[in-house]
Amino acid sequence: MSTSLIQSKSTKTTWTLKGSIEKESTPQTIDISVLPFRIGRRPELELSLASSVVSARHAEMIESAGLLCIRDLSSTNGTYVNGNRIYQDTLLSEGDWIEVGDVHLRVDYKGSTAQEKQDQPFLKTQFINADNQRKSSKGLMDLFARRALGACFQPIHYLSDRDIHGYEFLARSEVDGVTNPGLMFQAAEAVGREVELSMLCREMGLEHSICLPQKLPLFLNTHPSEPLMESVVPQMRLLRERYPNRPLVLEIHEKSVTEPRFVRQLRDALHEFDVRLAFDDFGAGQARIRELICAPLDYIKFDAALIHDLQDVSREQIALFRSIITAVRNEGAITVAEGVESDLMVEICHDVGFDLVQGYAMSRPAIMAPVPCLNPNDTAICPR
């Protein structure tokens, strides 16, 4: 395979990706026209993939010592090169296959004099998808029948002293075929049970929260297709009755609500039984600014992609963002930076004035389990 040097941003593209970026679509050629070349669900990335098993910012192709490499961006389902999951920057050569979620693409080099390859392409993802369709369907049924969601929580930290403010429940299981939320909801959406799965996640999150300190808030997610007032609010009322002492925060997805009036109605309905409301992935779209101004909430969780981008903006842009954070806090909302993965990002978040941070720089998600204790009002964190 060729290991030709990549070209700089200002020169003609020499590398391409070839393949189908959607199921059953016609294969196409995508020029790697700029580096870094970012891949994920986000619409502003160089390659945007509309797939539930692709992370918002999944991977990026970069230059390293004049060579083309790929880097996973802490994606949920991982990035693969020639069938092997990568955990560090990985050199790419002509003819390599990369997998991002359920999309597989071949790396090609323009102007190569090598004979066009006629061998069978590497189709690991397609093979696994076809082979595992029944497995994931069976796994989903097993997950529902046994309520087999693990007690997985990610801490949310105060930025000031790094103490833990609360926990977000994350859907994880040991059931074959549906071990992470991407696989779970992909299987659920295929049979129209995604709302049922989301409701189960909230219920199990509270059941498992016995292993957390009782005074700390538990953040619970919603699915974009859920009817919030008709289904989610009644469920949260029942859960509040069942767990009267646990502080609760409901996160609404960026795609769920675009009308500020409805957001205010939802917030007021939840406040009636002492449940706080949070925007998740704030900053992911234009409508979010309207909501920020017209319907301030209890928590604003700023999108991880926006936090990553703060590393590359000017001082003037940082100052503008700081003013936005200040305005949000003045309205009474608690600000949370998501996807904080390095000490540099922690420093930037401190500089712009965030209240809370969530991400690998502070702590990783952990599977936990309740431990016996003499005092029933005392709980402990107990990673397995």
DSSP strand pairing (299-302 vs 37-40): unpaired
CATH of range 15-122; options 1.10.3720.10, 2.60.200.20, 2.40.128.630, 2.60.40.1730: 2.60.200.20
Q: Which residue's structure tokens are 């369709």?
A: 133
Model pTM above 0.75? no
For the cut 90, the answer to whether the pLDDT of residue 101 exceeds it is: no
Domain boundaries, the chain: 15-122, 147-367
Kindly indicate the confidence band of residue 1, based on its pLDDT and cuts at 50, 70 and 90: very low
Strand order in the sheet with 47-48: 47-48, 37-40, 59-64, 67-72, 90-91
Inter-CA distances, 115 with 29, 67, 109, 118, 119, Å: 18, 22, 12, 9, 11
Beta strands 334-337 and 356-357, pairing class:
parallel
Other beta carbons less than 10 A from residue 180's beta carbon: 17
The Cα 301–Cα 43 span in angstroms is 19
Provide the H-helix boundaries in 243-354: 260-271, 287-294, 304-309, 315-330, 343-352
Q: Mind giving me the DSSP string for 242-266?
A: H-TTS-EEEEEPTTT---HHHHHHH
CA 272 to chain centre: 30
CATH of domain 147-367: 3.20.20.450
Q: What letter represents residue 326's amino acid?
A: T
Question: Two tokens at 266?
Answer: 């939802």
Quick: pLDDT tens for 39-72: 998 888 899 988 878 888 899 999 877 789 999 9
Do domains 15-122 and 147-367 share one topology? The answer is no
Mean pLDDT, the chain, rounded, equals 81
Amino acid type, 178: V
